[in-house]
C-alpha cells in the first residue's frame, strides 16, 4: 500500500514538472505552463498577481503577448498583430480575440488544428468555476417592521459561480444567511437566496459590483410589535413563525479585494432597496465583511 501511494505521488510530481517549466525571456526567469502545443505553443502563468501570456514558435522563439496603453489611454492590442503575423498562412483572424486564457486557448487550438489535420484537442466547452465565501455583519432588517430600528448580527455562507475567465464580470450566487434576534426585536430568520452579480469595476486586485437577490426562501420566527394602521397610536403584537418564497429583486453593492492568488476579502452593503418589497421607513443597514476563496 505504501509503495502504491509513493508511486502515485511520484507520478503526480512528474506531471507537475512537465506542466510547468522554467524559461529565461529577455533576461527574466519565469516558470510557465504549457497550455497548448502545436506549430505555435501557448505558455502562461500568473506572475505577481498578473496574468502573462507567451507564444512559442517552432524554432523555439518565445514572445510575450501584451496589450499596453498608449498616451491617448487606449489599448494598443499588440498581441493581435503578433498572432496575426504568425498565423497569416490561414484565414483565421484576431479581430475579435481577447487577451484571456479562454480566448487564447481556443485561438491556438483552432490554428494548430487547421495547419495539422492530425492535431486534435479536447473540447473547449465553457468551464464553470466556483468560489466559496463566509461572511458576517449587522442588519436592521430593512423590509421587516422594526419600530426601534434595532440592528442585529447575522452570518452566512455563499457559493459564487462564474465562467472560466481571467476576471469574470458576470457571476451567479447561492447564499444562506441567518439573522439573530435582539431583546427589543424578536425576529429571527434563515434565508436562502439565488442572485446575480455584475462587476462594473473589474481590476486584477479588486472589483466593485452590484448584485441582486432574485429569488429568496425564508424561514422565520417572530414576536413583533407594530402600529395598527387603522388606529394610530395603537400597537399590536404578532407572534408567528413560518416560511415564504419571494422574488424581491433586492439590490446591493460590494467589493472583493484580492489578498492572495486565490483568496479575497469581501465588503458588502446589501439590501439597499427592492423592487417588489416595501421599505419599513428605516434607513437600510445591512453591512457585511467576509472571506472567499476559489475552489
- Supply the CATH number for residue 201's domain: 2.40.160.20
Pair 80, 179 in one domain: no
| One domain, residues 21 and 146 | no
Q: Find out whether 116 and 38 touch, Cβ atoms under 8 Å.
A: yes
Q: Answer whether residue 194 is part of any domain.
A: yes
What is residue 5's predicted lDDT score, i.e. its pLDDT?
Answer: 42
- Is the same domain home to 136 and 108? no
User: Quick one: pLDDT at residue 22?
Assistant: 86
Q: pTM surpassing 0.95?
A: no
How does the average pLDDT of the chain come out, rounded? 84
Q: How many CB atoms lie within 10 A of CB 189?
A: 20
Cell numbers 429571527 label which residue?
A: 188
What span, in angstroms and rounded, lies between the C-alpha atoms of 282 and 182? 17
Query: Sign (positive/negative) of CA torsion 182, 276, 269, 136?
Result: positive
Q: How far apart are CA 124 and CA 101, in angstroms?
A: 12
70 and 216, same domain (yes or no): no
Number of domains composing the chain: 2
Which tops the pLDDT comparison, 279 or 234? 279
Measured CA to CA, the distance from residue 135 to residue 293 in angstroms comes to 12
In the three-class reduction of DSSP (H, G, I as helix; E, B as strand; rest coil), residue 272 is classed as strand
Structural domain ending residue among the three candidates 93, 115, 137: 115
Q: Which of 122, 79, 125, 130 is nearest to 102 (CA)?
A: 125
Q: Is residue 6 part of a domain?
A: no
Asked whether residue 4 is domain-assigned, the answer is: no
User: pLDDT tens-digit profile of 88-124?
Assistant: 988 899 988 999 888 898 899 989 988 877 776 665 5
Q: Assess if residue 120 is contained within a domain.
A: no
Residue 1 lies in a domain: no
Domain co-membership, 223 together with 152: yes
Does some domain include residue 7? no
Assigned domain for 123 exists: no
Enter the DSSP assignment of 233: T
User: What's the pLDDT score for residue 118?
Assistant: 74
The DSSP call for residue 126 is: P
Same domain as 164, residue 102: no
Domain housing 189: 128-294
Q: Which of 82, 115, 148 is the C-terminal boundary of a domain?
A: 115
- The per-residue pLDDT for range 217-270, each reduced to its tens digit, is 999 888 766 666 677 766 666 777 888 898 889 999 999 999 987 899 999 999
Higher-pLDDT residue of 264, 6:
264
C-alpha span between 71 and 194 (Å, rounded) = 43
Same structural domain, 153 and 290: yes
Q: What is the per-residue pLDDT for 160?
A: 95
C-alpha grid cell, residue 175: 447564499
Length of the chain: 295
Domain boundary (115, 141, 168) is at 115
Kindly tell me the sign of the dihedral angle through the C-alpha atoms of 165, 168, 172, 178.
positive
Considering Cα of 247, then 248, then 249, then 253, what sign does the dihedral take?
negative
Amino acid at each position: 500500500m505504501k509503495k502504491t501511494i509513493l508511486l502515485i505521488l511520484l507520478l503526480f510530481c512528474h506531471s507537475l514538472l512537465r506542466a510547468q517549466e522554467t524559461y529565461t525571456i529577455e533576461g527574466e526567469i519565469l516558470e510557465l505552463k504549457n497550455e497548448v502545443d502545436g506549430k505555435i505553443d501557448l505558455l502562461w502563468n500568473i506572475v505577481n498577481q498578473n496574468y502573462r501570456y507567451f507564444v512559442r514558435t517552432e524554432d523555439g522563439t518565445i514572445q510575450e503577448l501584451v496589450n499596453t496603453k498608449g498616451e491617448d489611454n487606449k489599448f494598443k492590442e499588440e498581441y493581435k498583430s503578433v498572432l496575426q503575423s504568425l498565423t497569416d498562412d490561414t484565414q483565421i483572424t484576431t479581430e475579435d480575440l481577447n487577451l484571456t486564457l479562454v480566448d487564447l486557448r481556443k485561438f491556438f487550438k483552432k490554428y494548430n488544428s487547421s495547419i495539422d489535420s492530425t492535431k486534435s484537442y479536447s473540447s473547449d466547452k465553457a468551464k464553470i468555476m466556483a468560489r466559496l465565501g463566509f461572511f458576517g455583519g449587522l442588519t436592521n432588517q430593512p423590509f421587516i417592521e422594526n419600530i426601534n430600528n434595532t440592528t442585529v448580527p447575522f452570518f452566512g455562507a455563499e457559493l459564487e459561480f462564474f465562467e472560466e475567465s481571467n476576471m469574470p464580470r458576470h457571476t451567479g450566487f447561492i447564499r444562506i444567511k441567518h439573522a439573530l434576534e435582539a431583546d427589543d426585536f424578536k425576529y429571527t430568520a434563515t434565508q436562502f437566496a439565488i442572485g446575480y452579480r455584475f462587476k462594473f469595476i473589474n481590476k486584477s486586485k479588486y472589483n466593485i459590483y452590484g448584485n441582486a437577490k432574485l429569488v429568496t426562501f425564508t424561514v422565520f420566527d417572530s414576536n413583533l410589535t407594530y402600529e395598527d394602521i387603522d388606529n394610530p397610536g395603537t400597537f399590536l403584537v404578532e407572534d408567528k413563525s413560518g416560511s415564504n418564497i419571494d422574488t424581491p429583486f433586492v439590490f446591493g453593492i460590494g467589493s472583493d479585494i484580492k489578498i492572495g492568488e486565490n483568496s479575497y476579502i469581501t465588503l458588502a452593503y446589501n439590501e439597499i432597496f427592492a423592487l417588489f418589497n416595501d421599505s419599513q421607513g428605516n434607513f437600510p443597514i445591512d453591512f457585511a465583511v467576509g472571506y472567499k476563496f476559489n475552489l
